[in-house]
Amino acid sequence: MPASTETEFLVETQFAAFPALALDCGVVLHDVQVAYETYGTLNASASNAILVLHAFSGDAHAAGVSKENGQPGWWSEMIGPGRAFDTDRYFVISSNVLGGCRGTTGPGSLDPATGRPYAMNFPVITISDMVRLQKLLIEHLGISRLLAVAGGSMGGMQALEWTVSYPEMVAAAIPIAATSRHSAQQIAFNEVGRQAVMSDPDWNEGNYYDGPPPRRGLAVARMVGHITYMSDASMRQKFGRRLRDKDAFGFDFSVDFEVESYLRYRGSQFVNRFDANSYLYITKAMDYFDLSAGRPSLASAFNCPDTRFLVLSFTSDWLYPTYQSLETVAALRSRNIDVAFCELTSQYGHDAFLLETKEQSEMIAGFLARVSSERDQAQPRRPEASEPVNLALSTRPDYAMIADLVEPGSRVLDLGCGEGELLAALRAQKQVDARGVEIDPAKVGRAIARGVSAYQSDIDHGLADYPDQTFDFVILSQTLQETRYPLAVLREMLRVGKRAIIAFPNFGHWTTRVSHLLSGRAPRTRLFPHEWHESPNLHFLTIKDFIGLCRKENWIIERQAFFRGKREVRSGANLLAEVAVFSIRAGR
Amino acid sequence: MPASTETEFLVETQFAAFPALALDCGVVLHDVQVAYETYGTLNASASNAILVLHAFSGDAHAAGVSKENGQPGWWSEMIGPGRAFDTDRYFVISSNVLGGCRGTTGPGSLDPATGRPYAMNFPVITISDMVRLQKLLIEHLGISRLLAVAGGSMGGMQALEWTVSYPEMVAAAIPIAATSRHSAQQIAFNEVGRQAVMSDPDWNEGNYYDGPPPRRGLAVARMVGHITYMSDASMRQKFGRRLRDKDAFGFDFSVDFEVESYLRYRGSQFVNRFDANSYLYITKAMDYFDLSAGRPSLASAFNCPDTRFLVLSFTSDWLYPTYQSLETVAALRSRNIDVAFCELTSQYGHDAFLLETKEQSEMIAGFLARVSSERDQAQPRRPEASEPVNLALSTRPDYAMIADLVEPGSRVLDLGCGEGELLAALRAQKQVDARGVEIDPAKVGRAIARGVSAYQSDIDHGLADYPDQTFDFVILSQTLQETRYPLAVLREMLRVGKRAIIAFPNFGHWTTRVSHLLSGRAPRTRLFPHEWHESPNLHFLTIKDFIGLCRKENWIIERQAFFRGKREVRSGANLLAEVAVFSIRAGR
């Protein structure tokens, strides 16, 4: 999804005001103003609106070029004509958060009761309060249901809060590099930042609006923040141990290293665009964030069966690590909510959600296309990028057989789904509810871009979150021999699915056996073409092995079919078949 | 190695003074004092001395109970009678570093030239300066060569500096959770701490010795430090999102969470025992640390062919991550220096070097026993804990054959060395120079505890650092079939070794083949006892496969032997042998 080469569109921040906002702390805030921008056009049915949500220090200016100062938005590469959030199709809204300092009411705003800045009299707010204000804005814009809410970091936390607070108002959510609850380490880093601000005598208990702001404290806080936004690897790459404007150590406490110079600069610059009290309030809101609080579990927070999720994280993000995204994903899957997940490979750390726009764009575009087509209640849209595979013509003989076994409109999980070809075809031809599991992040990305709900995991561990009997069919095609613990995988398939469809190459094929007997070598045939030392297969099994296992495990074989090339083998399968396909279910 | 239950021994900090110390920055420091403690007794030949080196905020009080205040030392569990650093056998020395504030000359000391504290007139020091002062102390104590230098974090950096600055003076080094050069991220965290201190108006350009110290700035610096010393997981475990003395959020900026309380307390306490200017100078010394600086490579820094290394790191340490220890290990291996390495599994983050004493103790005790026995130039000491395996009686028929192939006094590398049984036996019976590679950290730990130089890595990647033809024999016993890329492994074996000895189970054995043919199942025999779905084997090969590969790769088979049970098979081996042993070398 290349960024448009046209001249960037000009945008202007707008403002809306609301008489009152009830907060979680019990206080009612009066005369609340919201700064926001919109991109694209709201359609007649007001069904194409997407709310994008900024991170900690962001603002309403997410896209285009500011009329005021010519600056691009913080997600300009993602929002615009032909981009991930395609303004030719969607109406995109971005607003500054409650408690902020960029146009929306915050501690630096005038308290209507006193005519002076709130300062520390501003009530302590929550992520849920921020979202409550956003809801007022959305309704003010004439929108009753959002096509999607999307954001990274604190923006992702708001997106999740939307699905919990107003599940009926969001068709889809895209939380990126986010969490459902702040961890002790995240609280700790925020607390350090707050202490740095509050330790600065210029902070003056928050009453600095008539004098110098706490520049030094806020700068130190921001320096800590910048370290956590990058990764060890990206800092090594960007700065290494390079010195700043010198050839040798200064043996003093001025700047020696590039990284020191960068941090000092970023710290000092931040003071010019951010209010120290907003720093305190917004970090506190993040620390309070815990969707599981007051509930029996995180899963119980998500009462949004029809909302589609795309959850993204990044390998090198140690501030909002992947395990936190997986907590959210696991909770959603345990409620059987449709969630695609991919951990993108990136060196950029937490900043990746702002920097890795290409892969994110492809996935988000595909995901939004699926969601909007589903919402239009039309036939599931055929993905634009690639036509679904014609299964009858596929080079994979097992695909046609599998398609034959799957009932129309059923719920299907494909293990090792690759780029989602089979699932896309089943969706198009049999209108199934299609989910996939795939370990390769690049393939997961392409599957999601194709509109398939794929989940990045290895098959040995990928099913644990699903409740029993979630699917009608669980498919494992040509992958069993590559799993590390095939028996455990088969058992899991029959736990989460009513039926399991398994296709595998038959190690009992006569060429394999005769080759082994006569050659005295590890068999090497058309079916098992690899030299013994380069095979990806971890296990070898024959048709007879599989049937024996079914008997032992009390699994009932409902259908079986065996193939040599594309021809079905009717008898002597263990000797003659190259590929076997079984449909099994658990016995009583 | 359980801690002694006897009453802890009392210790007193002692002091030594030196007239002058030339520093890396060019300045000569006069009237330098060192605070130090010793534990145990120096032997007549002064050959049992071990220098332990403290981390950033540590001091000379490493062990025993302080006569002054009754406090235990920072490594009390590791140093004492019967402990890792066994004071019944070794003479252990610990000193406060140059630039410190615990008895050794630092910025808070009186400048003899002015009679006032140095403050920021103290010269900027380096890790190498610290070590130079330690060398004066060691010589003052009548020691010309240390049995070992050991320490964690900055202590490990000093240990490494010792081997580079004074290679002839150290028989062994134990750098734990350390690095050979500070990374951009490490510099960044230190710089934040320094900026926090220097931003506090009470710092007053360092001139606070007559007034209040920069309490708030130093506390913020220490808070950042504490986060980096722990891990995300250990903070989650220790604090989670638990509130401090309240049932609900306070909706204010006092303490809500336990973790906030902990950090504030630790920050405020630190001010009572640490000098803010020492904070600046010591962090700067760490940031300047780079053993590769001014050299063509890190490897070229290590001119200590006879020094033995034990390098330890911890899985959850993200401040001094394992990759940094591996950089050091790779440099040492590329110089063919004897280095054992283990990444210990721990949740404690960087603090693990102070907390995970049990496993560290076992390894350090075994390592020191080996080093001191080698130093005594006696017959290599038999390990105390476990007698070497009698190879003739071993349950592994291939062991005796391998032992027969290995020449006395040769250099041997054992891939997949397990707990080091074979290597320990070869060392005892054939006086070989024994190194091992093993992936399981628990086994690596036991091998090191047994005095074997084991290196934790998988075999598929474990040989890359070694120069060509480093070893006389590289052994791969019963592991080839479990490697992912066996051909690459075999090629690497013949690159780093003059000869490779390979033992493997023969998939060509007649029972295997007949079983496959007749049963139509994946073969399951005495030799391959696993069901197809639970085998650890990733590849299957026959004797004929292996001979074919040797021919193709132009490897010369010098010796071969085949076994059924413990009996050698003289003919029809591919059909009749269960285990094959080959000794091969590369062809011209």
**pLDDT over 60 at B382, yes or no:** no
Mean pLDDT of the region A327-332: 97
| Radius of gyration of the CA atoms of chain B, in A | 28
CATH class of domain segment(s) A10-184+285-372: alpha beta
Question: Using CA atoms, how far apart are residues B19 and B71, in angstroms rounded to an integer?
Answer: 31
Question: Using CA atoms, how far apart are residues A315 and A322, in angstroms rounded to an integer?
Answer: 7
Contacts of A395 (CB under 8 A, 6+ apart): none
> Would you call B86 helix, strand, or coil by DSSP?
strand
Does B265 reach chain A within 8 Å, measured CB to CB?
A: no
Catalytic amino acids of A? 153, 317, 350
Question: Using CA atoms, how far apart are residues A499 and A502, in angstroms rounded to an integer?
Answer: 10
Average per-residue pLDDT for chain B? 91
Does A284 reach chain B within 8 Å, measured CB to CB?
A: yes
Question: Using CA atoms, how far apart are residues B131 and B126, in angstroms rounded to an integer?
Answer: 9
Q: Which residue has the higher pLDDT, B528 or A103?
A: A103
Largest CA distance in chain B: 96
Confidence label for B533 from pLDDT (cuts 50, 70 and 90): low
pLDDT at residue B531, rounded to an integer: 63
The lowest-confidence range among A183-192, A380-389, B23-32 is A380-389
pLDDT at residue A389, rounded to an integer: 53
Largest CA distance in chain A: 96
pLDDT at residue A505, rounded to an integer: 83
**pLDDT over 50 at B3, yes or no:** no
For chain B, the domains span: 10-184+285-372, 189-276, 380-586
Q: Which residue has the higher pLDDT, A312 or A512?
A: A312
Long-range contacts of B4-9, Cβ-Cβ distance < 8 Å, separation of 24 or more: B4/B80, B4/B81, B4/B82, B4/B83, B6/B81, B8/B64, B8/B65, B8/B72, B8/B76, B8/B80, B9/B39, B9/B64, B9/B65, B9/B80, B9/B87
Does B239 reach chain A within 8 Å, measured CB to CB?
A: yes
Confidence label for B532 from pLDDT (cuts 50, 70 and 90): low
Predicted confidence (pLDDT) per residue in A152-207, tens digit? 999 999 999 999 999 999 999 999 999 999 999 999 999 999 999 999 999 999 99
Q: Are A120 and A206 in contact (CB under 8 A)?
A: yes
Predicted confidence (pLDDT) per residue in B36-72, tens digit? 999 999 999 999 999 999 999 999 999 999 999 999 9
Phi, psi of B454 (to 5 degrees): -105, 150
Structure tokens, A143: 């929108």
3-state helix, strand, coil in chain B (%, to 5): 35, 20, 40
pLDDT at residue B312, rounded to an integer: 98
**pLDDT over 60 at A442, yes or no:** yes
Predicted confidence (pLDDT) per residue in A224-283, tens digit? 999 999 999 999 999 999 999 999 999 999 999 999 999 999 999 999 999 999 999 999
> Would you call A170 helix, strand, or coil by DSSP?
strand
The verdict on whether B317 is a catalytic residue reads yes
- Chain B contacts in chain A segment 296-355 (CB below 8 A): 318, 321
**pLDDT over 80 at A448, yes or no:** yes
Confidence label for B530 from pLDDT (cuts 50, 70 and 90): low
Distance from CA of A397 to the nearest CA of B (A): 23
Mean pLDDT of the region A407-414: 95
DSSP secondary structure string for all residues of A436-457: EEES-HHHHHHHHHTT-EEEE-
Of B183, B220, B574, the CB nearest to A220: B220
- B50, β-bridge pairs: B92, B148
**pLDDT over 60 at A386, yes or no:** no
CB contact under 8 A, B513 and A507: no
Predicted confidence (pLDDT) per residue in A39-66, tens digit? 999 999 999 999 999 999 999 999 999 9
pLDDT at residue A391, rounded to an integer: 61
Average per-residue pLDDT for chain A? 91
**pLDDT over 90 at B504, yes or no:** no
The lowest-confidence range among A511-520, A543-552, B410-419 is A511-520
pLDDT at residue A436, rounded to an integer: 95
Structure tokens, A400: 């046609």
The verdict on whether B153 is a catalytic residue reads yes
pLDDT at residue B4, rounded to an integer: 44
Predicted confidence (pLDDT) per residue in A557-577, tens digit? 999 988 887 788 887 777 778
pLDDT at residue B364, rounded to an integer: 98
pLDDT at residue A576, rounded to an integer: 75
Question: Using CA atoms, how far apart are residues A403 and A408, in angstroms rounded to an integer?
Answer: 9
**pLDDT over 70 at B5, yes or no:** no
Q: Residues of chain A with pLDDT > 90: what percent? A: 77
B380-586: CATH topology: Rossmann fold (3.40.50)
pLDDT at residue A482, rounded to an integer: 75
Judging contacts by C-beta atoms under 8 Å, the chain A residues touching residue B543 are: 520
Distance (Å) of CA A196 to CA A217, B201, B363:
5, 13, 42
Q: What is the second-level CATH architecture of the domain A189-276?
A: Orthogonal Bundle (1.10)
> Would you call B343 helix, strand, or coil by DSSP?
strand
Judging contacts by C-beta atoms under 8 Å, the chain A residues touching residue B268 are: none
Q: Are B148 and B156 in contact (CB under 8 A)?
A: no
The verdict on whether B57 is a catalytic residue reads no
Mean pLDDT of the region A134-139: 98
**pLDDT over 80 at A314, yes or no:** yes
pLDDT at residue A154, rounded to an integer: 98
Predicted confidence (pLDDT) per residue in B562-577, tens digit? 888 778 888 777 777 8
Does B199 reach chain A within 8 Å, measured CB to CB?
A: yes
CB contact under 8 A, A522 and B540: yes
Of A196, A227, A486, the CB nearest to B188: A227
Question: Using CA atoms, how far apart are residues B216 and B229, in angstroms rounded to an integer?
Answer: 20
Judging contacts by C-beta atoms under 8 Å, the chain B residues touching residue A485 are: 533-534
Within 13 Å of residue B522, how many CA atoms lie on the same side as its CB? 25
Question: Using CA atoms, how far apart are residues B66 and B506, in angstroms rounded to an integer?
Answer: 63
Predicted confidence (pLDDT) per residue in A302-312, tens digit? 999 999 999 99
| B175, amino acid identity | P
User: Which chain A residue shows the shortest CA-CA distance from B239?
Assistant: A184
Of A257, A260, A521, the CB nearest to B542: A521
Confidence label for B98 from pLDDT (cuts 50, 70 and 90): very high
Q: Are A122 and A25 in contact (CB under 8 A)?
A: no
Distance (Å) of CA A282 to CA A106, A173, B583:
10, 22, 68
Does B482 reach chain A within 8 Å, measured CB to CB?
A: no
Q: Are A170 and A149 in contact (CB under 8 A)?
A: yes
Mean pLDDT of the region B445-458: 94
Mean pLDDT of the region A416-425: 92
CB contact under 8 A, A189 and B251: no
pLDDT at residue A375, rounded to an integer: 79
Give the single-character DSSP code of B170.
B
Give the single-character DSSP code of A299.
G
pLDDT at residue B540, rounded to an integer: 74
Predicted confidence (pLDDT) per residue in B245-276, tens digit? 999 999 999 999 999 999 999 999 999 999 99
pLDDT at residue A429, rounded to an integer: 87
Predicted confidence (pLDDT) per residue in B306-352, tens digit? 999 999 999 999 999 999 999 999 999 999 999 999 999 999 999 99
pLDDT at residue B378, rounded to an integer: 45
Fold match between domain B10-184+285-372 and domain B380-586: yes
Does B271 reach chain A within 8 Å, measured CB to CB?
A: no
Give the single-character DSSP code of B461.
T
Question: Using CA atoms, how far apart are residues A211 and B499, in angstroms rounded to an integer?
Answer: 78
Q: Among A401, A553, A581, A417, which residue's Cα sits nearest to residue A492?
A: A553
**pLDDT over 60 at B451, yes or no:** yes
Mean pLDDT of the region A393-413: 84
